[in-house]
Amino acid sequence: MSGVFNKLTSIKPSAWFVLLSIVFGVVLILLIPPFQNPDEPAHTYRAYHLASGHLFGAQADQRSGGLVPAWLISLDSATRYLRNNPDAKSSSQYSAISFTNGKRFADFPNVSYYSPIGYLPFACTAKILSVTGVRGIPAIRILRLTGLFIWVLVGFFFIKRIPDSGDLVLVTGALPGTLALVSAVSPDGITIALTLLWLLMVLEVNRTRWLPALLLGLLFTLQRPNWWPVTWVVFLVKQTGWKTWQRWIVIVLPVIGVMLFLALVKTSFIPFNEYNPAFRNGLQINPGVNPMMQLKLVTEDPVFFLHAFVDTWMDIWGSVFRHLIGKFGWGPNYIGWGTTVLLFVAIFWASLANRISLHRLEKVFLLWTGGSIILITSLILYLQWNEVGASYIYGINGRYLLPLLPILMGAMPWKIAPIKQQSLLIAMVLIVSEADLILHVINRYY
């Protein structure tokens, strides 16, 4: 037994990260039925639409979407009964459906105007699957494997190049909520990987290159403009040798991503009331939503929005935290409270024991960055998902705030020395939490 224990204690954070991510990620890919991850149907449609050469969704007959393989729509229809229905169980009926050839128009209005960057890896895989004739459940699983593979590769590369970040990346990158996200067909996982690469480009001593960092910052901001404040980290890094004007360009130029996002929303978003009545029910667009009118209201009366912002976050902060670290599927599917507490302790301890040295004012700056991400995320969701003049912001999910966690961990005001076998203990907590997640998935769907 002592030999086994010695081998476990010798495993590095990078190896733990790869091992846990691959094992539990693959299990999630196999266990969660098709299209049961949030927005996965729309994201899969978008990937196949991009694979056929279309950068954005098309608008036709008061609909927003595009032509996709007919079997995707059939599979989506056959598995729709599982969504937001906690009593429904998975069956073999959808695995035996007869798939038809050809293409049909699918509605994906909530993602048709998103940047194609986050969909590109899935689109490449979808193209290969289409050429080889692979479809149905195997195709969905292979698409999911694409996102997981990219996440594991980027996370491993980051820990190896910046060893001091080991436990921080391990505890945040292998969270149940994180693995549930990156093991789905979702551009959010790709965007998180781009953000991690950007941080690597900025933080790696004596290897920093501002032009690649600028490109990465623009890429992840185009996909998720609410993460733009992450670029402010360049002002905390001393060893880059970048000039002041270079730092400002790295920060300011990604604002183009925010502006392009708003422009695409303005030109491409079809409100519920204007959407084709025969197809709008059941889509992820809400009645009364009009982003441009909502934005005008916010600019004219920002105090009203701030009241809605504060009232909403006073109510949802606990559920958002649970979502951030341990949610899967549609609806309120969370890991258990006991496991959530264990993960909180592991995250808190890794924050206290991290070896990133920052001045007190720099930590305040990180808190300001984190608060800005929360505010911008809330504003975007207020524009996209809530009726004009709403006094409460619906749709705020933890997966939109994953880059926030390491920022807040780095801003921890206290520091303690790492304990012996700290990485092993954190890995054990993660194993317990991932096992709890798997049991919850089985109980939910089977």
Instruction: Tell me whether residue 120 is in a domain.
Output: yes
> Buried (b) or exposed (e) across 144-168, using 16+ Cβ within 10 A?
bebbbbbbbebbbebbeebeebbbb
Q: In this structure, is residue 382 part of a structural domain?
A: yes
Is 252 among the domain residues?
yes
Evaluate whether residue 416 is within a structural domain. Answer: yes
Q: Within a domain: residue 14?
A: no
The total number of structural domains in the chain stands at: 1
In a domain, 5, yes or no: no
Determine the Cα–Cα distance for residues 173 and 177; give it in Å rounded to an integer. 9
- Residue 25 domain-assigned? no
Closest CA to 18 of 163, 164, 174: 174
Taking only the tens of pLDDT, the chain with its 446 residues reads 444 445 555 678 888 899 999 999 999 999 999 999 988 999 999 999 999 999 999 888 889 999 999 999 989 988 888 887 888 888 766 666 667 788 999 999 888 988 999 999 999 999 999 999 998 899 999 999 999 999 999 999 888 888 776 688 888 889 999 999 999 999 999 999 998 888 888 877 666 678 888 888 888 888 888 888 988 888 887 766 778 888 888 888 888 878 888 888 888 888 888 899 988 887 888 888 888 899 999 999 999 999 999 999 999 988 888 888 888 888 888 899 999 999 999 888 888 877 777 778 888 888 899 899 999 999 999 998 899 999 999 988 888 888 888 888 877 777 777 777 788 888 899 999 999 999 999 999 99
Q: Are residues 327 and 177 in contact, defined by beta-carbon separation less than 8 angstroms?
A: yes
Asked if residue 18 belongs to a domain, the reply is: no
Question: What is the pTM for the complete model shown?
Answer: 0.90
Residue 46 sits in which domain range? 34-270+286-445
